Each structure stands twice: as C-alpha cells, then as structure tokens.
Amino acid sequence: MKDVLRILLPLLVWLASFSAIYGLHGIGCAAGWPDVALAGSSLFRLALLAAWIAAIVLQVAILIALRSTRFRADEGFAYRVSVALAWVGVVAILWTLFPLATVAECRVMG
C-alpha cells in the first residue's frame, strides 16, 4: 500500500496546490487585492507568486524525497513509476500555473 501511495502522492499534491491557488485567485479577485499596491506590484500578484513558488518547492521536495534512500520505494518498479510521476508533478506545477506571472489580473475576457 505504501508503494501505491508513493505513486499517487506527487500528483495528489499538484492537484491540491493547483486548486488552492485557483481558489486564492478567486478570493483575491473578489477582495480587490489587485488594487492594493505592494513593492512595485500588487498584493494580488505577489500573493499568487509566493504561493506558486511554495508549490514548486513542495513539488521538487517530493521529487527529492522519492529519490532519497530514506523515502524511496523498496521495489524497482514502484520506484521508477513514482519518480517519473514526481517529475510530472514538477512539470505540471510549472506548466499549469505559468499564466499567473504574465496574465492581466482579474480582468474578465470580453
């Protein structure tokens, strides 16, 4: 069961981070954070960036942990699959959330 959990963990964490940051974006837009200037940017952008960086760090930490002698899967197959999925987690967190660094804040398209 632990090996199955190792296989499921990296992307479970991605899903949690992705949903949480989407939620944060919704709350930020509703609360008017884009209008709060902070350190040359806005509270909104900085909050999202901070959350994103934390999520990336978490994802990388999982990758390192699943390769480490302490937490790695005992069995070769589960080890290979879990490490591959940990890489997917890193790519996914970068790929799916990159718009938060570049896109306009809270504007509805139209």
Partner 1 sequence: MLAGAGGILGLVLLLLGAAFRTRGRAPDEGRDVKVWIVGLGLGFTMSVLAALTVYGVYSGQQLMPRDGTDVVSVQAEARRWSWSFAYADRPGHITDGIMHIPAGRPVDVAITSADVVHSFWVPRLAGKLDAIPGHVNTIRIEADMPGTYEGLTAEYNGPGYSDHGFAVIAHDPQAWADFVAGGDR
Partner 2 sequence: MTALRRHRRLSAIWASEPGWKGWTSSVNHTDLGRMFLATSFFFFFVGGVLAMLVRAQLATPHSAFADAGAFSQFFTMHGTIMMFLFAIPTFEGLAIYLLPKLLGTRDLAFPRLTAYGYWCYVFGGSMLLVAMVLGIAPDGGWFMYPPLTGPLHSPGINTDFWLIGITFVEISAIAAAVELTVSILKYRAPGMSLDKMPIFAWYALVTALMILTGFPPLILGSVLLELERAFGLPFFQVELGGDSLLWQHLFWLFGHPEVYIIFLPAAGVISTIIPVMARTTLLGYGWIVASAVALAFLSFGLWVHHMFTTGIPFMGLAFFSAASTLVAVPTGVQVFAWIGTLWKGRPELHLPMLHILGFFVTFLIGGLTGVMVAVVPFDWQVHDTAFVTAHLHYVLFGGFVFPILAGIYYWLPLFSGRRRFFRLGELAFALIFLGFHGTFLAMHWVGLLGQRRRIETYDAETGWGTINLISSISSFVMAIGLAMVLVDLLIHAFVSVRAARNPWKAGSLEWASMSPPPPYNFASLPQVDTRDPLHGDPDLPNRLARGEGYLGDPATDRRETLTVSIGAARPDFMVIYPGNTRLPIVMAAVTGLFFLSILLKLYWVTPLALAGVAALAVVWVWRLGTQMDQGPQEAGRGVTLPLAGETEKSPGWWGSVFLLVANATFFGSLLFGYAFLWTVAPGWPPQEWLAPSLLEFGAGTLAAVIAMLALRFAIRRNRRHGGALPRLALALGATAVTALVFATLLVRLPPADGHAYAATLFVLGAYGLFHALLVGLMLAFVIARVRRGYASAVRVAEFHIVLLWTDYLAGITVLSLLAAHVPGVLA
Give the footprint of partner 1 on this chain (CB under 8 A): 95, 99, 102-104, 107-110
Stretch that binds partner 2, among 35-43, 58-66, 98-106 (CB under 8 A): 98-106
Q: Does position 22 bind partner 2 by CB under 8 A?
A: yes
20 with 51: CB under 8 angstroms? yes
Residue 76 host element (H or E): helix 76-97
Opening angle at CA 50, ends 66 and 108, nearest 5: 115
Q: How far is the CB of 71 from partner 1 (least distance, A)?
A: 25
Nearer Cβ to partner 1, position 39 or 103? 103
Min dist. Cβ of residue 61 to partner 2 (A)? 18
Binding of residue 97 to partner 2 (CB under 8 A)? yes
Q: Give the separation between CA 34 and CA 41, rounded to whole angstroms.
A: 9
Dihedrals phi, psi of 105, to nearest 5 degrees: -85, 125
